[in-house]
Amino acid sequence: MKEFAFFGGLPHSILYETDRLAEVGLRVRRCMNQRHEHLLRPFPPTGDNTKIAVARILGDGKRQRTRVFAELQSHYLFQDRFGRPAKGNDKGKVEGLVGFARRNFMVPVPAFESFEALNVHLADCCRKRMSERLRGHTETIGERLERDLTALRKPLPPPYDACEKVATRVSSLSLVRYRRNDYSVPTSFGHREVIVRGYVHEVVIACGTEIIARHPRSYEREDFVFDPLHYLALIEQKINALDQAAPLADWKLPEEFATLRRLLEVRMGKKGKREFVQVLRLMETFRIEDVTAAVSDAIARGAIGFDAIKHLVLCRIERPQAATLPAGGRSPSANR
């Protein structure tokens, strides 16, 4: 079933299917495993013959399952049940419940900033129905749910890692290609073998057992998704590339960093550029909020330099009171 919703003022097509809860996704082929994971908590799915689950319908009506759906099934140990093509009545109450959810939860057309907010709204709508009693039943929906939960296998296994796994190699530009888009990794991993895990909203890249990069997933074509921090180690060695490096072109930093760079270059020239990159590299280890506050504090104190800024960052983390000392650097008790 298709429906529309507004996110950030723009209309988007969404797809949902339900047994007892409405599940929302951007694209069924990319969300199927994650949607089934939710449906299995606690209800096994009764589904259409989507290509992400069914590779072929054999002559005797049996289904040849895809590899990813077989992995999901073996993880949760459930028995699948597929409807016949073009036979909506095979899914029992599913079609009726989808219509109910659309009429009651999606009218008027909802407007949310993100799919996460829409999912919260749908979950709240479902919870409100828990106290209702349907015709022909003596128990409420919530009471029937509790009875169902006691009959299910507990505890559930760890969550299934619902993603597409691809083995590939890092290019000479420290980029990993996945689904026609390129994602950056730290330059120290150039030409290494990596595993890409593609989720609905995120791409995670691992080398061995170490996760080396996380990026929001892009559904464009021939797109470049950079993390500027991945290239700072190389730029520190080739400092003249600081203003021309493509990964840094759209990096929006607080105004304090522009002020710091100007002061460093006035005082130290080319060496000031290198110290500025060293300050940026602090964000490989520390939060940007802590580094920004340390840069602002260093400018106020006139302590312009990498060592001073690193010291102030450590003070904020290890001894928060040290970051609040007056500009003279002495606490009031030191005058006693």
Amino acid at 197: R
The helix or strand, by DSSP H or E, that contains position 63, with its residue range, turns out to be strand 63-65
Best-predicted range by mean pLDDT among 18-22, 42-46, 184-188? 184-188
Average pLDDT, rounded, for the chain: 81
Listed in sequence order, the DSSP H helices in the chain are 28-39, 67-76, 94-105, 115-128, 141-151, 232-237, 255-268, 270-281, 288-301, 306-318
Does the bond joining 42 to the residue before it have cis omega, within 30 degrees of 0? yes
CA distance 196 to 183: 10
Confidence band, pLDDT 50/70/90 cuts, at residue 48? low
Residue 311 in this model has a pLDDT that exceeds 80: yes
Query: Which of 6-15, 199-208, 232-241 bottoms out in mean pLDDT, i.e. has the lowest?
Result: 6-15
**pLDDT tops 60 at residue 28:** no
In degrees and rounded to multiples of 5, residue 115 shows phi and psi of: -70, -30
- Above 70 in pLDDT, residue 186? yes
pLDDT > 90? residue 265? yes
Query: What pLDDT, on the 0 to 100 scale, is given for residue 281?
Result: 96
Tell me the mean pLDDT in the region 52-69. Answer: 84
Which pLDDT value is given to residue 238?
A: 93
Give the residue-averaged pLDDT of 252-263: 95
Pick from 51-65, 214-228, 284-298, 299-313: least confident: 51-65
Distance CA 229, CA 174 (A): 12
- Segment of 36-40, 151-155, 268-272 carrying the highest mean pLDDT: 268-272
User: What whole-number distance in Å separates Cα of residue 180 and Cα of residue 45?
Assistant: 32
* pLDDT above 90 for 332: no
Most confident of 138-142, 160-164, 221-225: 221-225
For 330, which DSSP code?
Answer: -
The beta-carbon contacts of 114-117 under 8 Å, at least 24 apart in sequence, are: 114/7, 115/7, 115/14, 115/24, 115/25, 115/26
pLDDT at 326: 53
pLDDT at 197 exceeding the cut of 60: yes
Other Cβ atoms less than 10 A from the Cβ of 48: the count is 19
Q: Which residues pair with residue 197 across a beta bridge? A: 165, 204
pLDDT at 233 exceeding the cut of 80: yes
Contact 32, 53 (CB under 8 A): yes
Structure tokens at 190: 């150039």
pLDDT score, position 95: 76
Cβ distance 69 to 37 under 8 Å?
A: no
What pLDDT sits at residue 318? 83
As separate numbers, helices (DSSP H) first and strands (DSSP E) second, the chain gives 10, 13
Check pLDDT > 60 for residue 159. yes
- Cα separations in angstroms, 178 against 25, 161, 164, 204: 21, 18, 10, 11
Percent of the chain predicted with pLDDT > 90: 46
Query: Residue 42: its pLDDT value, please?
Result: 41
pLDDT category at 162 given cuts 50, 70, 90 is confident
Mean pLDDT of 46-56: 74
Place of tokens 């026609």: 180
Cα 279 from Cα 295, distance rounded (Å): 9
CA gap 244, 235 in Å, rounded: 10
The single-letter DSSP state of residue 319 is -
The predicted model gives 50-65 an average pLDDT of: 83
Q: At what angle do helices 306-318 and 270-281 cross, to 10 degrees?
A: 20
Residue 320 has a pLDDT of 56
User: Where is mean pLDDT largest: 21-25, 286-290, 321-325?
Assistant: 286-290
For residue 150, give Cα distances in angstroms to 15, 19, 43, 178, 181.
Answer: 31, 18, 12, 43, 46
Query: What letter does residue 176 receive in the DSSP assignment?
Result: E
Residue 108: asked if its preceding bond is cis (omega within 30°), the reply is yes
